[in-house]
Amino acid sequence: MKTAVRYYSKLGNTKKIAEAIAEEAGVKAISVTDEPDLTEYADVLFLGGAPYANIMAPQLREYAERLPADKIGRVALFTTSNRSRRTVRALRKILTEKGIPVEKRYFYAHMTRIKARIGPAKDFAGMIIK
Ligand SMILES: Cc1cc2nc3c(=O)[nH]c(=O)nc-3n(C[C@H](O)[C@H](O)[C@H](O)COP(=O)(O)O)c2cc1C
């Protein structure tokens, strides 16, 4: 199974969760700003971000809007925030409208509990790709 991990992170929290997921999956976590397009097929794409003043970064939204439906089996979402889960809802909407299947289960980490959520993030990745 081919797995990819992509994220947008301004302050580093989402990056840490992305790296935990990637470690479990045996791949590299790559920022959407470093690699603006998904070029290789992925059976599972883990995609994560965070809200800033209630909305996800435009870099992440635009990345999701550009994702090629024919290069993705399904997407599993993850997010970090102070409270809001709206990044997950918004990404799910964009991807579903493009015809990309999105896992019902997603991973959440509160911004003050990133360290404590590394293990559970790995468990989540393992559960999705098993
Ligand atoms: C400018 C700014 C605005 C934020 N707005 C929200 C928000 O509207 N809702 C929320 O739950 N968290 C909000 N947060 C918290 C971030 O989503 C949280 O710190 C997240 O983990 C940041 O992810 P990152 O470290 O990957 O950039 C905000 C943080 C910043 C710096």
Supply the CATH number for residue 44's domain.
3.40.50.360
Rounded-to-integer distance, Cα 38 and Cα 96, Å: 17
Give DSSP secondary structure letters for 106-127: -EEEETT-TGGGHHHHHHHHHH
pLDDT computed for residue 32 by the predictor: 98
Q: What is the pLDDT of residue 68?
A: 95
Specify whether the CB–CB gap between 86 and 77 falls below 8 A.
Answer: no
Interval between CA 103 and ligand 1 midpoint (Å): 23
* 8 Å CB contact between 47 and 64: yes
Residue-number span of the structural domain to which 13 is assigned = 3-129
pLDDT in tens, the chain (130 residues): 999 999 999 999 999 999 999 999 999 999 999 999 998 999 999 999 999 999 999 999 999 999 999 999 999 999 999 999 999 999 999 999 999 999 999 999 999 999 999 999 999 999 999 9
CA dihedral 82, 84, 61, 29 (to 10 degrees): 50
Is the pTM higher than 0.85? The answer reads yes
State in Å: Cα 17 to ligand 1 middle. 14
β-pairing verdict for 42-49 and 3-7:
parallel
pLDDT at position 104: 98
Residues in the ligand 1 pocket, defined by CB under 6 Å = 9-15, 50-54, 80-84, 111
Q: What is the dihedral of CA 68, 127, 111, 97, to 10 degrees?
A: 30
Number of domains in the chain: 1
